[in-house]
Amino acid sequence: MEIIHDIASIKQAIKKARQAGHTIGLVPTMGYLHEGHLSLLRQARADNQLVILSIFVNPLQFGVGEDYEEYPRDLTGDAAQAEKTGCHIIFAPTVKEMYPQGYNTFVDVEKLTDGLCGASRPGHFRGVTTVVAKLFNIVTPDRAYFGQKDAQQALVIQKMARDLNMDLDVIIMPIIREDDGQAMSSRNAYLSHEERKAAPILNHTLIQAASQIQTGERDATTIRAQIFQAISAEPLAAIDYISIVDATDLTDVIKIKGPTLIALAVRFGKTRLIDNIIVEV
Positions touching ligand AMP (CB under 6 A) are 29-30, 36-37, 39-40, 146-147, 149-150, 173, 175-176, 183-186
Active site residue 37: yes
Cα 108 from chain centroid (whole Å) = 17
Given 5, 37, 193, 204, which residue is catalytic?
37
Q: Is 59 exposed, middle or buried (0-12, 13-18, 19+ CB in 10 A)?
A: middle
- How many other C-beta atoms lie within 10 A of the C-beta of residue 119? 14
Adjacency order of strands within the sheet including 89-91: 2-4, 89-91, 50-55, 24-29, 143-147, 169-173
Return the SS3 of 147. strand
- Identify the sign of the CA torsion 124, 141, 52, 104: negative
Distance CA 179, CA 107 (A): 38
- Identify the sign of the CA torsion 197, 198, 200, 204: positive
For ligand AMP, the closer CB: 147 or 205: 147
Give least dist CB 143 to ligand AMP, A: 13
Per-residue H/E/C for 14-32: HHHHHHCCCCEEEEEECCC
For ligand AMP, the closer CB: 185 or 205: 185
For ligand AMP, the closer CB: 92 or 220: 92
- Identify the sign of the CA torsion 116, 33, 210, 223: negative
For ligand AMP, the closer CB: 117 or 220: 117
For ligand AMP, the closer CB: 195 or 275: 275
Phi, psi torsion values for 219, nearest 5 degrees: -90, 115
List active site positions.
Answer: 37
